[in-house]
Amino acid sequence: MAYCFYDYLGRDPEMAKIINEPAGRKKRLQETFIQWFHEMFTGIDNWSELYAARRWQIGLAHVRVNITPQHVVPAMAIVVREVEKHLKSDNQDDSLTDSLKKICTIDLAFIEQAYVEVLSSSILKETGWTECLFRRIINAGTDSI
């Protein structure tokens, strides 16, 4: 799964650059991906606080290297597609595929939420705007698009 995942990312020149530089990053990423995948099944602490905290950290790690939700959403779709393929060829029950899809969606939500929260709290901190003003600016922006 990890090889298939990074092969997929490597087909896009922008993402290939991110995962291959600096040297050694791809290998580290494959290891952390395997760990991530494994934790979806073990649930760390029965998919509770520790699990959530770990997923949040993964989200923050992506914010730090400027990986946006638009990169992560299609990547998670690849994970789901591959898992589905394996389970089907293994004649596994559909309920297993459904569970895997659910946990992938939850993990995706953590990565996306980290991005949105870091972005908005950094803007509020830097500008001194209130949340209310920020919301009004966003609303005005959506009206003008």
* Binding residue for ligand HEM, selected from 2, 44, 63, 72, defined by CB under 6 A: 72
Q: Find out whether 55 and 110 touch, Cβ atoms under 8 Å.
A: yes
Distances (CA, A) of 140 to 29, 69, 134: 40, 23, 10
Q: Is 106 in the site for ligand HEM (CB under 6 A)?
A: no
d(CA 26, CA 31): 9
Q: Is 52 in the site for ligand HEM (CB under 6 A)?
A: no
CB of 135 to ligand HEM, least distance (A): 29
Q: Is 61 in the site for ligand HEM (CB under 6 A)?
A: yes
* Binding residue for ligand HEM, selected from 36, 47, 56, 134, defined by CB under 6 A: 36
Residue indicated by tokens 């589905």: 84
Q: Is 118 in the site for ligand HEM (CB under 6 A)?
A: no
* Binding residue for ligand HEM, selected from 26, 30, 33, 47, defined by CB under 6 A: 33
Retrieve residue 77's tokens. Answer: 């779709």
d(CA 145, CA 49): 39
Question: Please, what is the end-to-end C-alpha distance for the chain in angstroms?
Answer: 40
What letters, b where the CB count within 10 A reaches 16 and e where it falls short, cover 45-54? eeeeeebeeb
CB of 126 to ligand HEM, least distance (A): 24
Q: Is 109 in the site for ligand HEM (CB under 6 A)?
A: no
Q: Find out whether 41 and 94 touch, Cβ atoms under 8 Å.
A: no
* Binding residue for ligand HEM, selected from 40, 51, 55, 67, defined by CB under 6 A: 67
Binding positions for ligand HEM, rule: CB under 6 A: 9, 15, 18-19, 25, 28-29, 32-33, 36, 57-58, 61-62, 65, 67, 71-72, 75-76, 79
